[in-house]
A and B are shown apart, each in its own frame.
Chain A
Amino acid sequence: MSQDQEKPAERRAIQVLPGEIDNDYIWNPGPVIGRFLTRLRDDREILAVRCPRTSRVFLPPQAWSPAAPVAMDRYLTLQGQPTLSAGTVVDRAPWNLPEGLKPPYMLAAIRFPGADTDLIHLVVASRAELMALQPGAALQIRWKEPRSGTIRDIDFFTPATTGGAA
């Protein structure tokens, strides 16, 4: 049972043992995400996949169809201006500030023309610009240099109105 008023002698008692767990992993992204990430890194291309059963276009691509036990192997490259579907301006990120960023930034669902799903990624701009962004707002990609084969090879998106090379 809890004792909120501890006896003096108990104040010396050991109550925490600090520690950490360190473990190394290598994760296989699978052939589909592997291909998607390779295209980002080498060609700055956005690779999606079309479901052969429903014709829905998935971005990021995935190996299986949620609708049927069929492989999704009809790849296509998406072009054109992405837009904001929804986003939250993150003011407090207690862990894992995305590399090189500090709040406020936007965690966003982003739609590319031709896709039927949203890509989750970051939008970076001033707080005022982020707060003013509405669904449907045009965005542009800021690529990372050099690229290493992760989803952050797209460093982040910016509102299209603020300029910056795509």
Chain B
Amino acid sequence: MGDAKQVARAAVTGVGQTITRLKRRDVNFPEMMHEACVLALKDAELQPEDIDLVVFGSGPEYFEGVNEPDLWATDHTFGIGKQHCRIQTGGTVGASTGIAGYYMAASGLYDNVLVVSGDKLSESSVQKGLSLVYAPTMGRDFAAGAPSAVANQARIYQNQFPSVNERHFAKIGAWMRKNALNNPNAQLKLPQISEEVMLGMAWLSTPLRLLDSCPTSDAACAMVIQSARKARESERPKAWIQAVATISEGYNYVDRDWSNPIAQREAARRCYSQLGITKPLEELDVLEIYDAFTSQHLIWYEGLGLVERGHGADLVDQGAIRMDGKLPVNPSGGVLSNNSIGASAMIRQAEVALQLMGRAGDRQVQGAEIGLAHGWGGAIQFHTVMILSGEQDFELSRRKRAERRTVGAER
């Protein structure tokens, strides 16, 4: 970190999440994207004509069965007469779309950027779409969707750290589904969920059982990202984007240790280094991670540098990731409770933004000031990190946290 003061160049000033269902039979795909855009504009108190640029994201074409789905949706995302461009990076697409929008606003070339990302997974065979990401010459013959690939990742991890067991996965699954009960936007609501219910489910692909997996959803998410100059014009609460990184690993998955996500490590390292964060577990208030499967929590904690490699389960054993723990993870219920793929990684950013604005309702982490949003996608290949704060001057957010802790200690 240099001597220069870390001052954010853009902020999230509006968030829109659609109603989420297993099947959104009431709207078509562009209409669902429209719904998110309208909510985000309204939230930012902007009109469509205020928007300079639209960045559009959705998953692989196979999900909608439409080549270039952004063309279909231009009219519905306030893109007419403006620059309208598409991002596609698999599961990370929502986050990459948010990050692309950030680059545009932070560059100073655009003041008001609308980013929107989503998918209707109910309209095609999702697992077929996911299987077709593998190269046709090698690997596709065995592809049976995401669960078996991630189950193998979990096995590789367990082979190295044999003390990690099903009970860790079950605890995570139960806690995240409890969190989802506080989130009106979560799709999967399981009031009766418990560790025992998790462990009683049938196998999906060992060591994962059915509820170790996310649901499939129809959903879209949009955000308004404004340049610092524009964002400062309003007194409304906002979430400042302090650091972003999007990093890829090689496709050749046989040449990597799936349980040691070097792309995620690098993404986190870059953001921490820019902000001078050395102990993320101490210096963050809230985390939203892309947890399509329970087992990935442990691996992602390590990739984000919260704990040393092999110690992800410690945070579960200590209850540190619960709402009342040291660092609440996925107060929203996470991807385990809501996964449209296209919207999922942007929802991580939007949820952190809401937390820092103090607008997260029943899932609010009290006094949240600095938060991290993570995205994962591709063939266990892409990772994104975005760190946001309540104040434009990062040092100010840090001081607020320090003061809060002092007050807490005096009580």
Q: Taking beta carbons and an 8 Å cutoff, which residues of A are in contact with B?
A: 1-3, 15-16, 19, 21, 25, 27, 29-30, 33, 37, 58-60, 62, 66, 85-99, 107-109, 117-122, 131, 135, 150-152
Q: How large is the interface on B (under 10, 10 to 19, 20 to 34, 35 or more residues)?
A: 35 or more
Tell me, rounded to whole Å, the shortest Cβ–Cβ distance linking A125 to chain B: 14
- Contact residues of B: prevailing secondary structure: mixed
Q: Which of B112-154 contact A (CB under 8 A)?
A: 125, 127-128, 131, 136-145, 147-149, 151-152, 154
Interface stretch (choices B20-28, B89-97, B395-403): B20-28
Q: How far is the CA of A2 from the CA of B184 in the complex (A)?
A: 14
Q: Which residues of B contact A29 (CB under 8 A)?
A: 137-138
Name, among B25, B136, B137, B143, the residue most crowded by chain A CB atoms within 10 Å (CB to CB).
B137
Tell me, rounded to whole Å, the shortest Cβ–Cβ distance linking B29 to chain A: 12
Q: Is the CB of A119 within 8 A of B142?
A: no
Q: Is the CB of A95 within 8 A of B125?
A: yes
Tell me, rounded to whole Å, the shortest Cβ–Cβ distance linking B296 to chain A: 14
Q: How far is the CA of A15 from the CA of B24 in the complex (A)?
A: 10
Q: Is the CB of A91 within 8 A of B254?
A: no
Q: Which residues of B contact A131 (CB under 8 A)?
A: 206
Determine the residue in chain B with the shortest Cβ distance to A107.
Answer: B148
Q: Taking beta carbons and an 8 Å cutoff, which residues of B are in contact with A?
A: 19, 21, 24-27, 35, 65, 125, 127-128, 131, 136-145, 147-149, 151-152, 154-156, 159, 202-208, 250, 252-255
Q: Is the CB of B26 within 8 A of A107?
A: no
Q: Is the CB of B138 within 8 A of A33?
A: yes
Q: Is the CB of B152 within 8 A of A109?
A: yes
Determine the residue in chain A with the shortest Cβ distance to B147.
Answer: A92
Given A58-B255, A89-B203, A94-B144: A135 in contact with B159 (beta carbons within 8 A)? yes
Q: Which residues of B contact A66 (CB under 8 A)?
A: 250, 252, 255
Q: How far is the CA of A2 from the CA of B31 in the complex (A)?
A: 11
Q: Which residues of B contact A108 (CB under 8 A)?
A: 152
Q: Which residues of A contact B204 (CB under 8 A)?
A: 91-92
Within the complex, which residue of B148, B156, B254 is in contact with A60, where a contact is CB–CB below 8 Å?
B254
Q: Is the CB of A96 within 8 A of B148?
A: no
Q: Which residues of A contact B147 (CB under 8 A)?
A: 90, 92
Q: Is the CB of A150 within 8 A of B155?
A: no
A-B pairs with the 6 shortest C-beta distances?
A88-B151, A93-B144, A29-B137, A91-B203, A94-B127, A89-B206
Given A121-B142, A122-B142: A90 in contact with B254 (beta carbons within 8 A)? no
17 contacts between A and B (CB under 8 A): A25-B136, A27-B136, A27-B137, A37-B137, A60-B254, A66-B252, A66-B255, A85-B159, A86-B152, A89-B206, A91-B202, A107-B142, A109-B254, A120-B253, A120-B254, A151-B138, A152-B141
Q: Is the CB of B206 within 8 A of A95?
A: no
Determine the residue in chain B with the shortest Cβ distance to A136.
Answer: B159
Q: Is the CB of A60 within 8 A of B138?
A: yes
Within the complex, which residue of A1, A93, A95 is in contact with B19, where a contact is CB–CB below 8 Å?
A1
Determine the residue in chain A with the shortest Cβ distance to B146.
Answer: A94
Given A15-B25, A88-B205, A151-B141: A93 in contact with B148 (beta carbons within 8 A)? yes
Known: A58-B254, A99-B141, A109-B152. 13 other contacts (CB 8 A): A25-B136, A33-B138, A37-B137, A60-B138, A66-B250, A87-B152, A88-B208, A90-B147, A93-B148, A107-B205, A108-B152, A117-B254, A151-B139
Q: How far is the CA of A66 from the CA of B250 in the complex (A)?
A: 8
Determine the residue in chain B with the shortest Cβ distance to A58.
Answer: B255
Q: Which residues of B contact A117 (CB under 8 A)?
A: 252, 254-255
Q: Which residues of B contact A88 (CB under 8 A)?
A: 148, 151-152, 154-155, 205-208
